[in-house]
Chains A and B, each alone.
Chain A
Amino acid sequence: MKAIIATTVFGIIMMFAGILVNDRKNIGSIAALLFAALLGVSIWDLVTTPANAPQLLFNDMLRIEHYSLWFNTIMTGCSLLYVLLLGKEIQKVGKYVGEYFALIFFILCGLYLLSSYNNLLMLFIGIEILSIPQYILAGSDKRNLKSSEASLKYFLMGAFSTGILLMGITLLYGAARTFNIMEMVSMLHADALNPLAIGGILFLMVALSFKVSAAPMHMWTPDVYDGSPTAFTAFMATIVKSAAFFAFLRLFQVSFNALSGHWVFILAVITAATLLVGNVTAVFQQSVKRMLAYSSIAQAGFMLFAVLAVNAVAWQGIIIYALAYSVATIGIFAVLIKLKDYTYDGFNGLAKKEPFLAFVTTVCLFSLAGIPLTGGFMAKYFVLLAVVQQGQFMWLVIFALLMAAISVYYYFRVIIAMYFKQGTPELMSPVTSGDKFWMVVTCILVILLGVVPQLFLSNI
C-alpha cells in the first residue's frame, strides 16, 4: 500500500526534477536515490504486514497477500539494480531524462497493482498502467526509425490485446455476475460451466499470453525489443514481463484453479509452442540483442510452467524465476550496451580485451542456460518441480528440457565468441569502477540465488 503511493509520488517528483534540475547526472542520482527509497518502502510494507492476513483495500479491489509484497520487494530490488547498472545509459537516450525515470516509476505502480489485484477491473487498470509508459519508452529514441516503429507496433498490438482482455472480462462478468476474482470461484462450477465463462477464460488467456509474449502471440516481441533503446529493452524484457506473468498466474491460480480441466490443455499447447518458437528462432539470430528477445520468449515458456502447474510450488517458482531471469538478463544488457556492435562478431575477443565484462556475461549466460549453482538452475528446477508434481505433463517437461538444450547452443555462442575467437571489440563507453561494482553485485546475486535460494523464498 505504502509502496503504491510512494512510487506514484516519486514518479511525479521525477517529472518535476526534469524541469527543475538541469544536469542530467543529478537527475540520474536523484532517480537512483528514489529507487533505493522505494525499495526501502516496499521492504517496510513487507515487514509491517502480518504473514497470514491479506489486506483488503479500496472496497476489495486490492487484496495484498504476503507473497504479493514479497514479489513487489524483489522486483523493486531488480529495478534498483537496473537503474544502478543502466542509469547512465538511460541518460543518454534522449533529452527528457526525468520523464524516463518517471515513467519507470509509473510502470512499477502498475506492477504493484498487478501483484495484488482482486478485481478484474484492477487487472485491466494495472495492465494499462504497466503498458502505456512502455509505449512511450519504446519510442523515446525519436530520431531512430526503428525505435518509432517499435513504439507504434507495440502500441497497436497492445491496444488490440487490451481489447481482447476487456472482452474476456465482459464475458466472465456475464457468467459470474462479479468482477471479484475471489467471489468468482464460487460462481463458476467446473461441471456446469457457462459457455460465456469458457469464452471469457480463453480471451483472458490470449490477452495475457500477448503481454507475456507467449507464442503465437509473440510476434511483436523481437521487433519491439530490438527497436527500442537498449536501456529500456532491458527493463521491458525483465521486470515488466515478470509482472505480467505474476498477474497471469494470480488470475489462473486463484479464480480458475478448479476449472483447470477446461483450459489447462490449451495452455500446455501454448507453452510448447512458445518454447519451440523461442528457442528455435533464437538459434538463427545474428544479433545478440535480437537473440535475447527470442530468448525472453523461450524463458517465458518456462515461466508458463508455473501457470500450468496450478499448485503451491508455482508461486515460489514464478518468484524465483522472475528474479533469476531478470537479474541475469539485466546483467547481460549492462554489458551489451557497452559494445558498439550488437552482433555475435561484436563479442569476438572480448575476453582478451575486457576479461571482467566477459566474465560477467558468462555468469549471466550460465544462469540463463540453467547451469547449476546459478540462479537460473534453481529457477528451472522450481518450475519443473511444480509441473512434475502436478503430474499431467511429463511429456511437456521432457520437451522443455530438449528445448533448454537448444538454448545452450545460442547462449554459448556468445561465450565462444568472447573466449575462443579473435577480434577487437569496440566499447561505446569505458567501464567505470562503479559499473564494475554493480556488475560484481549482479554476479554475486546470480550465484547466491543458485546456492542458497531459500534466502529469496523463505518469506513465502
Chain B
Amino acid sequence: MILILLIAIPLFAGIFSFGIKGDGAKVLGLISSMLTLVAAAYVSGANYIAPVSFSQPWIPLLGTQFSLMGDGMSSMLCLLTGIVVLVVMITNVSKEVEKPGSFYGLLLLSQAGLMGVFLAYDALVFYVFWELALIPVYFLCSQWGGEKRIAVTFKFFIYTFVGSLMLLAGLIYLSLQTPGLSSYAWADIVRAGASLPPEKQQWLFWLVFIAFAIKMPIFPFHTWQPDTYEQSPTPVTIILSALMVKMGMYAVLRWLVPVLPFGVAYWADTVVVLSVIGIVYASCIAIVQTDIKRLIAYSSIAHMGLMAAAAFTHSQVGTHGIMVQMFNHGINITGMWVMVSMIEQRYGTRDMTKLGGMATAAPQMAIALLIIAFANIALPLTNGFIGEFMLFNGIFRADSAGHITIMVVAGLGIILGAVYTLNMVQKTAWGEEVKMNSGKDLSTNEYLGLAIIISIIIFLGVYPKPLLDLTSGIAGVITAGH
C-alpha cells in the first residue's frame, strides 16, 4: 500500500495544484514532496528486512497486473526522486514563476510518473508510466523554457516517443512468448525472453534498447540532450538530468539485461564502444563550452556513458556500481544545476568568460560549488568516488577482449572531467571580481537545499555502506543470468 502512496501523493497533489492560484502551490509542492520523501525512506528502510510489493489485477484481458515492487534498486531510485524533488522545491521557494499552479502541478505529476517507472513490476505498467513521465516534462519545457524551447522540446519529445513505440512492439512480442500468450509480469517476461533463441534476441535487443539508449542518452542518440537541458527551466533540467536519464539506465538493468541475456551478450561490445566514444566525445565538447549549462549537460553524457559501458560488462560489481552511481550522479548533478541557476540569477549570464570572483563576493556559494565540483570529478571521500571505482572495477573484469583498452580510454573521461569541471570552478569562483546584478550570498532556503546535497555527498563519500547494502542483493539478481 505504501508503494501506491509513492505514486498517489505527488499525483493528487499535482492535480490539485492546477486549481491553486498564487503561492499556495509552492506550499503544496513542499508538503507533498516531504511526504513522498518520508514514504520513499520508509520503503528503502523496509528493504533491509524484506522488500515491499503490491499487486492488483488491472486488465485481465491483457494479462497485465498493476504490480509494483520496491526492491533495493527501485526504492533507492524512489529515494533519489524524493530527495531531488524536495531540493528543487526548497531552492525554488524564493523564485517567481509564471502560473505557479500549473508549474508545480506538472512538476509533481512528473514525479508521480517517475515513481511509477521505478516501481513498476509489470511490463505494461512500466510502459504506461514510461510515457506518462514524459508528458508533464514536455509541457514544462515548452511553456517555461528558453527562447528556442518549442522546437527543441518538440524534437526531444518525438525522439523519445519513437523509442517508446519500438519498446512497445518489443514488449508485445515478449508477452506473446509467455505461457498463456499474455503476461507482463517481470518474472514471466524474464523467463520468456531468456528462453528465446539467440538470433531472435539479437534483433529484439534493438527494439527494446533503442528507447533506453535515447533516454540515457548513449552516443549517437544524444543529440536532443544538450539543447533540451539548455532550454529548459532549471527545475526541469534537474528532473531531466538527475532523474529521467536514470529511467533509461534503470530500464536497462531491469528490463533488458536479465530479459535478453544473449542479445545483450551479442551487442555488448558495440554498446560499450559507443558508450566509450560518447564519454570521450562529450568530455572534449564540454572542455570548449563557455556556457556552464551546456558544459554540465555534456558532462552528464560522459557520466552516463560510463554507467552504460559498465552495464554491458556482465559483472556483478559493475552492476552494483551503476546503482550506487545512479544515486550519486543524481545528487551531484542536482547540486550542479542548483549552483548554475543561482549563478544565472545573480549575474544574469551563464557564460563563464563573463564570470569571476565569486569567492570574494559570495564565499558560501563558492565553497558549495567547489565541493559539488569535487564530487562531480569523483574525488575520494566524496560520493562520486565509490561509484566510479566500482564501475571501473566492473569494466576491468569484463570478458570482452579489449576490456583494458576500454577501461583506459574511459579513464580518460575522468581526467577530461577534471579539466572542464575545475576550469569552470576556476573561472567562476576566482579571477577578477564581476559585480552581481542582484542578490547576495546564499539565502536561507538555498542554504538548506545545498546543505542536503552536500551532507549526502560527504556522508556517502565517507561511509557508503548503507547505499551499498541497499543495492547489493538486486545486483546479484540482475547478473544471475550471465
Contact = CB atoms under 8 A, between A and B. Distances in A.
Interface of A: 316, 366, 371-373, 377, 381, 384-385, 388-389, 394, 397-398, 401-402, 404-405, 408-409, 412, 416, 419-420, 452-454, 457-458
12 contacts: A371-B132, A372-B128, A372-B132, A377-B128, A384-B168, A389-B176, A401-B169, A408-B157, A408-B158, A409-B154, A452-B59, A453-B61
B272 to A, nearest CB: 25
B169 A388 contact: yes
A457 B60 CA distance: 11
Nearest to A372: B128
10 closest Cβ pairs, A-B complex: A401-B165, A372-B128, A405-B162, A372-B131, A454-B61, A388-B172, A420-B142, A405-B161, A408-B161, A397-B169
A373 B128 contact: yes
B172 A381 contact: yes
Interface residues of B, number: 28
Interface string B167-184: 011001100100001000
Contacts of A366: 135
Given A401-B165, A405-B162, A457-B61, A416 B154 contact: yes
B195 interface: no
B166 A371 contact: no
Contacts of A385: 62, 172, 176
Nearest to A384: B172
A394 B176 CA distance: 13
Given A381-B172, A398-B169, A454 B60 contact: yes
A381 B171 CA distance: 11
Contacts of A454: 59-61
B298 to A, nearest CB: 26
Given A366-B135, A371-B135, A401-B162, 6 more contacts: A371-B131, A372-B128, A384-B168, A398-B207, A402-B165, A409-B154
Contacts of B158: 405, 408-409
Interface in B126-158: 127-128, 131-132, 135, 139, 142-143, 149-150, 154, 157-158
B17 to A, nearest CB: 15
Contacts of A457: 61
Contacts of A416: 142, 150, 154
Contacts of A402: 162, 165
B57 to A, nearest CB: 10
Contacts of B62: 381, 385
A68 B131 CA distance: 34
A105 B477 CA distance: 61
B172 A405 contact: no
Main secondary structure of the interface of A (DSSP, over half): helix
Contacts of A452: 59
Contacts of B149: 420
Contacts of A394: 169, 173
Interface of B: 59-62, 127-128, 131-132, 135, 139, 142-143, 149-150, 154, 157-158, 161-162, 165-166, 168-169, 172-173, 176, 181, 207
A81 to B, nearest CB: 23
B412 to A, nearest CB: 36
A145 B207 CA distance: 49
Contacts of B132: 371-373
Contacts of B128: 372-373, 377
B59 A453 contact: yes
Contacts of B60: 454
Nearest to A452: B59
A211 B260 CA distance: 43
A439 to B, nearest CB: 18
A321 B168 CA distance: 17
Contacts of B176: 385, 388-389
A226 to B, nearest CB: 26
A108 to B, nearest CB: 28
Contacts of B157: 408, 412
Nearest to B163: A405
Nearest to A371: B131
A408 B142 CA distance: 15
Contacts of A458: 61
Contacts of A405: 158, 161-162, 165
A404 B154 CA distance: 15
B172 to A, nearest CB: 5
A442 to B, nearest CB: 19
B232 to A, nearest CB: 14
A404 B131 CA distance: 14
Contacts of B135: 366, 371
Nearest to B206: A398
A454 B176 CA distance: 19
Contacts of A389: 176, 181
Nearest to A402: B162
A384 B128 CA distance: 16
Contact of A401 (B59, B127, B142, B166): B166
B182 to A, nearest CB: 8
Most B Cβ at <10 Å: residue of A372, A394, A416, A419: A372
Contacts of B172: 381, 384-385, 388
A388 B168 contact: no
A419 B168 contact: no
A389 B62 CA distance: 13
A66 to B, nearest CB: 16
A344 to B, nearest CB: 13
Contacts of A316: 61
A454 B182 CA distance: 15
Nearest to A366: B135
A397 B127 CA distance: 18
Contacts of B127: 372
A386 B169 CA distance: 12
Given A405-B158, A408-B158, A409-B158, A420 B165 contact: no
B150 A420 contact: yes
B168 A401 contact: yes
A350 B168 CA distance: 33
Contacts of A372: 127-128, 131-132
Nearest to A398: B169
Nearest to B61: A454
Given A373-B128, A419-B142, A404 B150 contact: no
Nearest to A405: B162
Contacts of B139: 419
Most buried by B among A373, A401, A419: A401
A387 to B, nearest CB: 9
Contacts of A409: 154, 158
B16 to A, nearest CB: 16
A385 B165 CA distance: 13
A402 B161 CA distance: 9
A70 to B, nearest CB: 14
A398 B142 CA distance: 29
A153 B150 CA distance: 40
A382 to B, nearest CB: 9
A409 B159 CA distance: 11
Nearest to B135: A371
A381 B149 CA distance: 31
A458 B168 CA distance: 24
